Structure 1
């Protein structure tokens, strides 16, 4: 499996100026290649490279950076087409989709630029890198990382690394190809119910992030609304800064929750059953305040973190249909809306079984996980 290791660069003033000039040129070249691709309808990597290579070289790029710029542009158009096919930009004729399709893709000044081993070399023992730049190759650019990241770089770094400038700080995102771990045969499944009042709840009764996290989320929502209403340039700048802070907070929280869930499943020899929440924003019908709460948390990110951490630990993961898991009794399987009189309470109208509503839903997800795993593994065993 592939993971990304983020390392911080510590360039001096001259190196920093050279790196900035390099990103500026690469992204200006990407804008040119994008305009050519849009005008001529050429979007494949090789065709776009043949079309723009000479001009990109004339702009001051060396051979490999010019190739990577063309590939970056082709990848951006491929991602756009994939989003259109998936319906992420709305239906045909919608304002958002028309806007995306009616003009070339543009690149930010500090958009990431990929470098391969011909343009970037690592001196791990010295904690430095040598990287191609516009004015000449930069040697002995210091980087910093944790011991765990260093071990991953030394043993598994393969392929490209992306140069990124974020908030005036420089980073390299290095791709590491870690050998796959054999998935262990699970002895049952740990069901995980994702929600709003509790971000995640397991069938064992563990509830992650309740009132404390929701207070922070609601405070952030109020601050966003206040800044959006003000609408000044400084308010927009602060809104952008707060958005990055909230994204870091959400990612850190999701990492912690995912690690604890995977650790518990690994300790007990079970697999993990998750809800398949694809398209939930289109399916769910909620009032405006509830929609804001639903859309302000990265549930997909949490599921992704659980999946990749489980893969590294050899823990099986299955995705199940979440339909009626909150209305079904995990004891007798009776389904009724009346089984859930309020958000936190589940009380079966058939057998009288009572439990926290999210715990009951997680147990139903675990049962479906067992059935789903059997459907996948039994044909292979045969």
Structure 2
């Protein structure tokens, strides 16, 4: 359980002000020199008391304030930091790391829309972040590790993001298989728990012989785990480099990232394949699966309820499976595009921001197992829609 820090009274006289990137006051320095960092403004409020301001990439924006910075001091000191988020309420509980890799929750307090933390600093920098850091390099390392363990996997670059970063896909296919499962992730940069679930779900699907052997005798997989590398790199709250929410662009396709996945799926269909199911990993305030309503007559109708019922039966002792069906016409959401264009099920797999980190991979692996079993129970003819 977290302990909470209650700060001293804040002084109202500002003795210094600085614009990030690096902020240095007395012997204390704040840095944003790492991938995913976000540090907008710095103020010195009093000796060893500071104000860090966090601004969004543009507005309007979904208020999911991401923050990330390093701090160090010439002498060992305890400092107090006030975090503000451009008038928005904080969403994420602060994390601390000594190396940028291993993370732990840290005590905090809140006052209105302010968050306060207390840190012990020294010559070695410490990292503070809204969530654990999963940056673009970690995706590259993970994909390479998967291929090393399963050489039949293909790593394909679909194209480049708006800022020229590669959009990488993992493809597992057999020429005789026509049915495709599509997995995407990280449309929204701060949604790290969704990334954790995608990793565990995909590893179970690709590396567990008990699942992969029967599954890949019939199905192919297209996975794009890091769809918004520009936003991830710069610690955006929600958007890509052009200030656009990618999960609202699956109608206009104004952004390179969504067009690349759309065109890859279209190429699959042109070459005789069929998209039969799609899952998009996200994070929100609690665990929930957003599905399409039954009246959409998606192929096959019982697949979604069967999958989530089986998942609940296996994990119900520790995890509540929540299924919320909703249609979002004209909003440009990925699952809606899958339903409208391919006439099959798309689901948004949402993981709670503060869901137990041990629980996330367990549930995701069980979700992969239940999905495989339910997909294998569906006769190929049941995916009856002509997608050409």
TM-score by length of 1: 0.25
Q: More strand per residue: 1 or 2?
A: 2
